[in-house]
Amino acid sequence: MSARRLPALLLPASLALALAACGPDAPAPKAAATAPAPATTAQADQRFADIAARWLDGWLALQPVAATQVGRHDFDDRIDDLGPAGRQAAIDFNRKTLAELDTLQVADLSRENQIDAAILRNQVRYDLWTLETLQSWAWDPQVYSQLAGSAIYNLMAREFAPMPQRLRSATARMEKLPALLAQMRENLDPARVPKIHAETVAKQNAGLLQLVDGLVVPNAKALGGADRQRLDRAIAGLRTAVAEHQAWLDDTLVPNARGNFRIGQQLYDEKLAFALNSPMTRAEIRTRAEAAIKATRAEMYEIARKLLTERAQAAGVAPPKDMPPQPGDAQQQKAIEAALELAYAERPARDKVVEVARESTAQATAFVREKNLVTVPDTPVQIILMPEFQRGVAVAYCDSPGPLDKGLDTFYAVSPIPDDWTDEQVDSFLREYNTRSIHELSIHEAMPGHYLQIAHSNKHPSTLRAVLGSGPFIEGWAMYAEKVMADAGYMDNDPLMQLIQRKWALRAMANALLDQAIHVDGMSREDAMKLMTVTTFQQEREAAGKWVRAQLTSAQLPTYFVGYSEHLDLRREIEKRDGAAFDLKAYHDKVLSYGSPPVRFVRELLLDQPIK
């Protein structure tokens, strides 16, 4: 479960663009401003606006593929340069931006711009750290595979321009993609590449051509003459390049990949601070997640105990034994598992997962309107099959239009069940993604989760804030939305739906523990699987997939629980402040009106506290 958003430069996130350095045709960044310190807030705000505008122009020129996703289409015919010169250009650009930010008197800015300045500084420092310290360009092949796939997908998936125009841009990018694949072979040091990263990208590589065959080839007739001939040559050249690259992946990278997927304590803590932009530390995350798991399991036991008793009474049989008010661990586990089996029994057919996702999104939307929980946007949403180059990490994601592309569709993408899965694997998957779980998935990804939240966010006047949306705010909101729906009685307070909601909350809590335990503490697969399949009731296929995801990514899995905790903390504070005057819809609309900044800034705005 994830929302596609712009990560730090070259951040290895498989459900987001891999951002990189400047292409050879990109304009040089403008010189740093040297104006004297302003005397008024208006002057300070104007000076920051100038810096932010220069940064955004330069940042998007440095990474044309990301620019397309954001909705800036000046660079649609280019791709990112990940070679030494391109990386150095990005480093120089970020250092200049930091120097400009250092000249600001932040206290002179308006409160909104104090927040944007803090967000921008964090991003610039994160980009530099990723390039110079993490160096994912040297060991993570996902950086290149995701960039290559996104280069085509972002052009063809949405109708932001006439088809011939987008095809000409796709042609230019396909002509450049063989050079990107060559840079990947040149930059990666197999001794530093983790085996799981190499194997995953080797499986994804063919997905690039499937994107071309699915999105470009069927529309090629929109071009004629020399343009069509150039397109055909680009496609043929890319087919050859992808085949050559596959041979290198299979024969060179995978056999020689010897890197450690665990990034270690120092890198993890540094990355976590940038990715979360939250005062919550690794130790606090662990303490809170462990306590939340214990409390949530206790709630699930009470739901299960009542449900099993009522079901037995309705059937005229004795209720299950050994369900005392204060259970032991084994008693608690047994009762919850028995109740969950009732939910697992109701699941879609193998080929109906997307259909159920579509139906549940419509039902959730109607419920949000009926209960008046939050203002529902009027922008469209489509439920689609996940493109193959994005598969292998999460079962679904929300892909919203960029903040500069107005009125275009949001895609709620669902991964199909792989054709090569055995019946046992399919059964495991559908037990996890039973009918109620798909309802929960639709709440998280679409309504009132990612789709709704990002539609609100894109209305905020700060383009910078929209482009640099906070992962914990975005993922935390989607998880918080699940609780809001459960509290409002979604599906007529169905106890099995209540149980599933808490099970999904457990997954996010486990995510936060897994991420640090794997990358810092050396958690084994056996212990990770136990946490997931026993402590948090996940099915084997879900847990196995999460084990892979936790190896492929770092500092992303905690965003759900951290943001969720911050959203809950904030709401409790506002409820305490407002008392009987608290209005849930008004509160939600107000929180969402600030865009997608780190939750701590929303708290400071709502409570009129100093911006830190």
Per-residue pLDDT band at 350 (split at 50, 70, 90): confident
The pLDDT of 21-26, averaged and rounded, is 30
Query: What per-residue confidence (pLDDT) applies to 199?
Result: 97
Please check the confidence at residue 379 and state whether its pLDDT lies above 90. no
Model confidence at 7: pLDDT above 70: no
Q: Lowest-pLDDT range, 4-13, 32-41, 151-160, 507-516?
A: 4-13
Note whether 536 and 293 are within 8 A (CB): yes
With the C-alpha atoms ordered 439, 440, 444, 448, is the resulting torsion angle positive or negative?
positive
pLDDT confidence of residue 1: 53
The verdict on residue 200 lying in a domain is no
The residue out of 113, 136, 159 marking a domain boundary is 136
Residue 14, C-beta contacts closer than 8 angstroms, at least 6 positions apart: 142, 146, 200, 390, 392, 393, 394, 549, 552, 553
Asked, for residue 129, whether it belongs to a domain, the answer is yes
pLDDT for 559: 97
**Residue numbers of the domain that contains 56:** 1-136
Q: Name the residue among 289, 355, 354 with its Cα closest to residue 560.
A: 289
Identify the weakest region by mean pLDDT among 20-24, 149-153, 437-441, 551-555: 20-24
Answer yes or no: is 373 within a domain: yes
Q: Residue 423 falls within a domain, yes or no?
A: yes
Local confidence band at 24 (pLDDT 50, 70, 90 cut-offs): very low
The pLDDT of residue 13 is above 50 = no
Per-residue DSSP letter, 468: T
Among 12-21, 90-99, 236-245, 504-513, the least confident range: 12-21
Tell me the DSSP string of 199-215: HHHHHHTTHHHHHIIII
Position 3 scores a pLDDT of 57
Q: Which of 91, 114, 136 is the last residue of a domain?
A: 136
Q: What is the pLDDT of residue 2?
A: 55
pLDDT value at residue 435: 95
pLDDT at 394: 60
In a domain, 159, yes or no: no
Count other Cβ atoms within 10 Å, centred on residue 522: 10
Residue range 222-250: mean pLDDT, rounded: 98
The yes-or-no verdict on residue 172 having pLDDT over 50 is yes
Q: How many distinct structural domains can be found in the chain?
A: 2
pLDDT, residue 371, reads 98
Q: What is the mean pLDDT of residues 17-23?
A: 26
- Asked whether the beta carbons of 398 and 368 are under 8 A apart, the reply is no
Residue 162: CB atoms within 10 Å: 10
The rounded percent of the chain whose pLDDT value lies above 70 is 92
Roughly what angle, to the nearest 10 degrees, separates helices 329-344 and 495-519?
120
Read off the pLDDT band of 38 (50, 70, 90).
very low
Confidence at residue 34, expressed as pLDDT on a 0 to 100 scale: 46
* 568 is a domain residue: yes
Q: Is residue 524 in some structural domain?
A: yes
Q: Which of the pair, 413 or 18, is modelled with greater confidence?
A: 413
Radius of gyration (C-alpha) of the chain in whole angstroms:
24
Domain for residue 94, yes or no?
Answer: yes
Mean pLDDT, the chain, as a whole number? 91
| Distance between CA atoms of residues 479 and 261, nearest Å | 27
Residue that is last in its domain, among 136, 152, 183: 136
Residue that wins the pLDDT comparison between 335 and 381: 335
